[in-house]
Structure 1
Amino acid sequence: MIMTEYARTKQKDKPLHEKFEYAQQLFSIVSVDDTGIFELPNSYFSKQFRLSDINFMGVTNSEQAEIINWFSKVLESVPCRFSYIVANEYVDETEFKKEVLYPLAGDKLDTLRHAFNDVISNKLTDAKQGLYQSIYFTLTCKADDMKDARSMFASMDTAIRTAFIDQAAEGIAGSVMSPISTNERMQLLYNFTHIGLHTNFKFDLDEEIKYRRDWLNTISPGSLRFENELFHMNGKVGKVIYIHDYPKVLEADIISKLSQINCTSYISVNNELLPTDVLKKELQRKHMKVGMKIENEKTRNRNQNDYLAEASATLLESNRKIEEFEKEINDEDQHYFNTTITMLFMADDMEHLESIENKVISQASLKSIEFKNCFAMQREGINTCVGLGIQEFKHVCNMSSTSVAMFMPYKTQELNDKGGVYYGINQLSKNAIFANKKKLKNRNSLILGQSGSGKSVAAKLETICSYTVYKDDQFIMIDPNADYYELAGIVGGTVISFDPQKQLFVNPLDVD
């Protein structure tokens, strides 16, 4: 059967292993490079980046429209196959304590630090069950060898990075694209295959080579079994599904709503540029095919002496839509993509998995989206979902760059300064807020609120937090209402009265 050029663009990638026999055949990775580039089957090479979040959900509709327009222009600047993933991943406990919790100093304030660390841990667990949300961006290109791939990624890296930073909306910072090293990429895969197993393992490629270990064995799961509609991995159960039917009108919070479900999940938007000439030829072919059907129906009606009858309304509507699409392609300067959107989620058992699936279907139905299982292709679905840059599963929909941009991965800009003070939970992303005011040019703060809303409590909490984090800093508090003298006693400070009516007072000008 002769395949059209358009049909070839819809073909799936050929897996590295046609038949699955053991756990090491899960990932279709041929080789890895110390620059973070993975060699994939069919002469493909991929490189992964991490995107910083931007404030999308908390701005006005007009500003959201500007961000969508900016994001569509960014996507148009990508010259190769790409995918972006919104991942809810379990954080490593050791790294969590090192990066997030207050470090102990071995002094009398460690009791306070322990108390704060308990509060932070409980708040994060309540907010997202120990999950942390990240955005990954993967580029995939064809190359002759690894050297050629390095050169190609180096040439496109700067342009795409600049496009992400150059945010069009006024007052909103752009997204920073940070490359992920080989060790980090391997660690992400290891964390996925070892969910629920607290091994505290850190992947190191140099050590793998030094001790002649097979890195594929290291990142592979201990046990893995596939069924038609789900898979079992290390005592967990998971499923890969895809969007089968899209709504007529897209909303920009589709990805956001799906990623709010509390579970380990990967929502992957996979895109491949569709050449405009190929799309035009396909539309002409379809236009001709529908036109012939319309003429055949008219001929049949005339043969039945019904000279006034037109073709069926369905055919006429199809013909009208094709004509509109052709006009849109000719008039508008937009890129078109073959887009496949998949979602992977995992649970502790079948009952929990069904509960998560029902929530996903419920959220999708509110957006007029229909999901279907990757039937008998769960392994291919995993490779497509986890950011390798492979598209072993495809159910493509032809989308313009603006339509793809409506599947917005951004929600809210994160504030997570290392060595900062804990300020609470971001209600949009459910991630912790840590701020280090010392990084600001102006460190002044103003706490506003109604009477009884907790302004004094917030100020006292920030004071104690700051005192436990920045133990070498000096704190001077001017307290006309004598609200903070107990606080000074807790942290071992001194209360000095400046009231001239008291028997003992200090002249402020004499204070060193």
Structure 2
Amino acid sequence: MGSCFIKAVPHPLPAQKEGADRLKLFQDKFSIYKKAGEPLYKTPKSVQECIELLKIAPDGIFEVAGNRYSKSYLFSDVNYNTTSEREQVGIFESYCRFLNAMDVEFKVTINNKNRNMKALREKVLFQKKGDGNDRERDCYNQIMEKKIVEGKQGIEQERYLTVSIIRKNYEEAKAAFASLEAVLQKGFGELGSSLAALNGVERLRVLHDFYRMGEEEYFSFDFEEAVRIGRDYKDDICNSMLKFYPTYMQDEKRFAKALFIKKYPSSLSDRFLTELATVPAHTIISIDVAPIPKDVTTSTLQKKYMGIESDIIRQQRVRNKNNDFSSDISYSKRTEKQQIEEIMDDVRENDQRLFYVAVTIIIKADTKEELEAIEETLVTIGKRNSCQIEAHYLKQREALNTALPIGVRQVETMRTLMTQSLAVLMPFNVQELYLPGKGGTYYGVNQVSRNILFGNRKRLVNGNGFIFGVPGSGKSFFAKMEMGNVFLNTDDDIIVIDPQHEYFGIAERFGGQVVVLSTYTGNHINPMALPEDVSDIQGIIAEKGEFMLGICEQCMGEALNSRQKSIIDRCVRLLYQEVKEECMRNRGRQEGERTHTLWKQKTLHDYYGILVAQPEMEAKELALSLELFIGGSLNIFAHETNVDIDSRFLVYGIRDMGKELSAISMLVMMENIGSRIMENAKRGRATWLFIDEFHVLLDKEYSAKYLFSLWKKVRKLGGLCSGITQNVLDMLQNYTATTMLANSEFVALLRQAPTDLEKLSEVIGISPEQLKFVRGAQSGTGILKHGNMVVPMDITVDKDSPIYKLFSTNPFEGKEAAHEEGH
């Protein structure tokens, strides 16, 4: 279909002029650049003829008038209103550079469209599986649906950039757009925004969703089929009735009105456009921009300046002739000269350009009364900012065509603005995190926009992350919400290292396994066990060696010297010598000749026996330090595993391990978990590991090193690690932890102590202005970093929700929820 166009028959008519240029200084000089386009049909005989399109192509290039082509791009929001003044200046300057780089007509559109609730439910809500956990899925769905309704009342906001160019044919237009897109990508990249071209079907969908608001789910269009059967594409997007009145319009179900900004103040807030765009109503706000070439601007200004100078000289001569030597030049001429000089200085010294600009607003409502109420709200916002907003009189149809991201402009309500004045109409507000679909996770709502936050850590380059928060900040609740998402909405495994026994309730509710490790339970885990697949036995032995270095360091209570390290490594190699030899023999054999010996799993007891047999004095010291954990009262890791550790939701409870066993148990957990993650990776299953009291593992060199190794391994094997801690300062003082944090793309930052915030913000890349969402934050609110996105989040849940009762850190609420009937 490459260059195929679907055509509509054009019927060009003379353009209807509207209004006069309000900038008297250049009334006749630049008027060619603001000339409005001509409607295709002066008197449309059908709704289809109201849609200003001649031809459309699959790649999204539309011919909207004779030799005028347009293309639309969807661009993402960036954090502007939530950043510091210094960062806002940076964004503002980048936007100015983008505007100066544009030498073709374009329009920026903010479309508060009707949300397709059916598609949203399909993408966001959890699907039932009949596995006994559908009740919890319903609870999550109720939470999300409520947040959606409370937020923007069924409104979804999108931003478009529509560019219009004049070329002889489609092929030339296509080449021109390809060249232009490099400039667009560079400009929006500097702003921190992503830009994606809309194809033909996507552009038609935007129009369909406006004309047929409420019927978004029924849109369907196929280019090949339309060409084959000769169907008019306009039939697929238009509604059945569209009637225009002097100050409003009406379709078969709703009322609409086109407004415009008639009068601007001498200065305007950069939040003005955001104020208009965040009104909870179905609106389209379009900023049409027609750049005036810089050379034309310079020459025109020079001519105008010389003309004013000549007028002043002529005026002075007349006064001198009348013997009036004391009078100054007239006020009007002084003012005119001053204005010209200021503009010339801006153009020459401040890299400013001139643009013709028009702001058109379309509002849509179910009733005329609702329409008028929305209009009154917008007009009030305008008055508050010294702007005059009025309805387009007798130009409703032309204004509608202008506001839609089609690429035409059929009204002349334009005024000249300099680059910086145009940039004040800032189209950015706050970033949105919305990555629904398979594997997506609900993270509450954006505190600023109130839109739901849906992320997907699997899409990140490094999905490992951290959850920070002081006691009472909601960090455990946040972690449980994420665990619930993963368990209910994916097939992934979840493993939790739980030093405070906070996660037993959620594991039991979801039918998981809780393994309580202490000296009195009789539960044992064997960290020296080998996986079923030992094909990479040398790699396995190397990993077990690293593990034993960490164990021995913890037992010794001090850093190991080189002789001790050599002995520890030697004993590990001796422990697995038999297995290694058989693996090496099998490598040289054919499949049918290989032996499969079922050797007995090795334990720390076996390792201890080899260690005490070594002749060095250092070996005796190591054995003595290990004795308590091998044959003494703390020997729970010296036996073969006797608990089920294959559950999909597995929690290790280590609260009662005591100080002596705490750090060692953490290492044993990670060794066991590392093997589990490798096995899952071979089956194509992701593993989520949550480590509470994460800072405990950072006390010793080898435990921190081992943790760092596991952190990298999990990422390579498709798993995801989450460190949960309140001790931010301890982490920031540890080089390994700081490196892990700096390389992790996911961070949930809840309420923090003021002394920790500044250092933490530097490491994870959060601006001081954004920290206001963390300082003194209520429980369950804070900042969420997801890749390059930083959003203010609110993951609070109503206290009467079963999910709240299950996840609350209040043990009585959790117990009550865990034992409710009907699970």
Q: Normalised by the size of structure 2, how large is the TM-score?
A: 0.57
The answer to whether the aligner puts 1:249 opposite 2:267 as a matched pair is yes
Q: Distance in 1 between matches of 2:270 and 2:441?
A: 33
Give 1:272's aligned residue. Answer: 290
Answer with 216-225 or 4-13: which moved more.
Answer: 4-13
Q: Distance in 2 between matches of 1:247 and 1:488?
A: 60
Q: Deviations over 1:82-141 (max 9, x none)?
A: 111111111223321232223343433233223212221221111001111111011110
Q: Distance in 2 between matches of 1:109 and 1:211?
A: 49
Give 1:60's aligned residue. Answer: 84
Q: Which residue type is aligned with residue 486 of structure 1?
A: G
Matched residue SS, 2:214: coil
Q: Distance in 1 between matches of 2:357 and 2:220?
A: 34
The answer to whether the aligner puts 1:102 opposite 2:126 as a matched pair is yes
- CA deviation after TM superposition for structure 1 residue 39, in Å: 0.3
- CA deviation after TM superposition for structure 1 residue 148, in Å: 1.6
Q: Which residue type is aligned with residue 87 of structure 1?
A: N
Unaligned residue ranges in structure 1 (runs of 5+): 168-173
Q: Distance in 1 between matches of 2:315 and 2:151?
A: 60
The answer to whether the aligner puts 1:324 opposite 2:342 as a matched pair is yes
Give 1:72's aligned residue. Answer: 96
- CA deviation after TM superposition for structure 1 residue 154, in Å: 1.6
Q: 1:425-444 to 2 correspondence within 5 Å?
A: 425-440=445-460, 441-444=462-465
The one of 134, 150, 154 aligned to 2:174: 150
Change (3 A) 1:43 1:300: same
Change (3 A) 1:107 1:338: same
Change (3 A) 1:481 1:317: same
Q: 1:200-211 to 2 correspondence within 5 Å?
A: 200-211=218-229
Q: Distance in 1 between matches of 2:496 and 2:350?
A: 62
Q: Deviations over 1:368-403 (max 9, x none)?
A: 222122111111111111111111112222222332
Answer with 420-429 or 455-464: which moved more.
Answer: 455-464
Q: Distance in 2 between matches of 1:4 and 1:366?
A: 32
The answer to whether the aligner puts 1:187 opposite 2:205 as a matched pair is yes
Q: 1:5-20 to 2 correspondence within 5 Å?
A: 5-20=29-44
Residues 118 and 217 of structure 2 are in contact (CA less than 8 Å); yes or no, is this contact kept in structure 1? no
Q: Which residue type is aligned with residue 33 of structure 1?
A: A
Residues 93 and 200 of structure 1 are in contact (CA less than 8 Å); yes or no, is this contact kept in structure 2? no
Q: 1:230-379 to 2 correspondence within 5 Å?
A: 230-283=248-301, 287=305, 308-310=326-328, 313-379=331-397
The one of 75, 83, 93 aligned to 1:51: 75
The one of 388, 393, 398 aligned to 2:411: 393
Q: Distance in 2 between matches of 1:18 and 1:156?
A: 33
Q: Which residue type is aligned with residue 79 of structure 1?
A: D
Give 1:467's aligned residue. Answer: 487
- CA deviation after TM superposition for structure 1 residue 432, in Å: 1.7
Q: Which residue type is aligned with residue 42 of structure 2?
A: E
Matched residue SS, 1:388: coil
Change (3 A) 1:198 1:398: closer
- CA deviation after TM superposition for structure 1 residue 250, in Å: 3.1
Answer with 71-80 or 97-106: which moved more.
Answer: 97-106
Residues 51 and 401 of structure 2 are in contact (CA less than 8 Å); yes or no, is this contact kept in structure 1? yes
Answer with 209-218 or 82-91: which moved more.
Answer: 209-218
Change (3 A) 1:442 1:215: closer
Give 2:501's aligned residue. Answer: 482
Change (3 A) 1:290 1:102: farther
- CA deviation after TM superposition for structure 1 residue 333, in Å: 2.9
Bigger Cα Rg:
2
Residues 208 and 216 of structure 2 are in contact (CA less than 8 Å); yes or no, is this contact kept in structure 1? no
The one of 144, 149, 152 aligned to 1:120: 144
- CA deviation after TM superposition for structure 1 residue 497, in Å: 1.8
Change (3 A) 1:492 1:46: same
Change (3 A) 1:330 1:166: closer
Q: Which residue type is aligned with residue 254 of structure 1?
A: F
Q: Deviations over 1:479-500 (max 9, x none)?
A: 3433332222210112222132
Q: Distance in 2 between matches of 1:186 and 1:221?
A: 13
Change (3 A) 1:198 1:186: closer
Q: Which residue type is aligned with residue 23 of structure 1?
A: V
Give 2:554's aligned residue. Answer: none
Q: Distance in 1 between matches of 2:322 and 2:389?
A: 44
Identity %: 27
Answer with 194-203 or 484-493: which moved more.
Answer: 194-203
Give 2:543's aligned residue. Answer: none
The one of 120, 126, 129 aligned to 2:153: 129
Matched residue SS, 2:379: helix
Q: Distance in 2 between matches of 1:328 and 1:464?
A: 57
The answer to whether the aligner puts 1:458 opposite 2:482 as a matched pair is no
Q: Normalised by the size of structure 1, how large is the TM-score?
A: 0.90
Q: Distance in 1 between matches of 2:515 and 2:294?
A: 77
Q: Distance in 2 between matches of 1:162 and 1:398?
A: 26
The answer to whether the aligner puts 1:423 opposite 2:443 as a matched pair is yes
Give 2:560's aligned residue. Answer: none
- CA deviation after TM superposition for structure 1 residue 285, in Å: 6.0
- CA deviation after TM superposition for structure 1 residue 303, in Å: 10
Residues 87 and 267 of structure 1 are in contact (CA less than 8 Å); yes or no, is this contact kept in structure 2? yes
Change (3 A) 1:328 1:507: closer
The answer to which structure, 1 or 2, has the higher relative contact order (CA under 8 A, 6+ apart) is 1
When you count helix as a share of all residues, which structure comes out higher? 2
Residues 270 and 341 of structure 1 are in contact (CA less than 8 Å); yes or no, is this contact kept in structure 2? yes
Q: Distance in 2 between matches of 1:114 and 1:432?
A: 17
Residues 496 and 506 of structure 1 are in contact (CA less than 8 Å); yes or no, is this contact kept in structure 2? no
Q: Deviations over 1:215-267 (max 9, x none)?
A: 11221121111111111123211111111222222322221111110111111
- CA deviation after TM superposition for structure 1 residue 301, in Å: 8.2
The answer to whether the aligner puts 1:410 opposite 2:428 as a matched pair is yes
Matched residue SS, 2:275: helix
- CA deviation after TM superposition for structure 1 residue 75, in Å: 2.2
Residues 128 and 262 of structure 1 are in contact (CA less than 8 Å); yes or no, is this contact kept in structure 2? yes
Q: Which residue type is aligned with residue 423 of structure 1?
A: Y
The one of 168, 173, 189 aligned to 1:165: 189
Matched residue SS, 1:96: helix
Q: Distance in 2 between matches of 1:306 and 1:256?
A: 55
Q: How many residues align?
A: 501
- CA deviation after TM superposition for structure 1 residue 284, in Å: 5.2
Residues 219 and 236 of structure 2 are in contact (CA less than 8 Å); yes or no, is this contact kept in structure 1? no
The one of 247, 258, 271 aligned to 1:229: 247
- CA deviation after TM superposition for structure 1 residue 7, in Å: 2.0
Change (3 A) 1:56 1:235: same
Q: Which residue type is aligned with residue 459 of structure 2?
A: K
Residues 94 and 200 of structure 1 are in contact (CA less than 8 Å); yes or no, is this contact kept in structure 2? no
Q: Distance in 1 between matches of 2:247 and 2:306?
A: 39
- CA deviation after TM superposition for structure 1 residue 198, in Å: 5.9
Residues 86 and 134 of structure 1 are in contact (CA less than 8 Å); yes or no, is this contact kept in structure 2? yes
Residues 116 and 214 of structure 2 are in contact (CA less than 8 Å); yes or no, is this contact kept in structure 1? no
Q: Distance in 1 between matches of 2:402 and 2:483?
A: 48
Q: Deviations over 1:316-348 (max 9, x none)?
A: 323311222123323343332111111111111
Change (3 A) 1:287 1:185: same
Q: Distance in 2 between matches of 1:12 and 1:350?
A: 29
Over aligned residues, Cα RMSD in angstroms?
2.6
Q: Which residue type is aligned with residue 434 of structure 1?
A: F
Residues 119 and 217 of structure 2 are in contact (CA less than 8 Å); yes or no, is this contact kept in structure 1? no
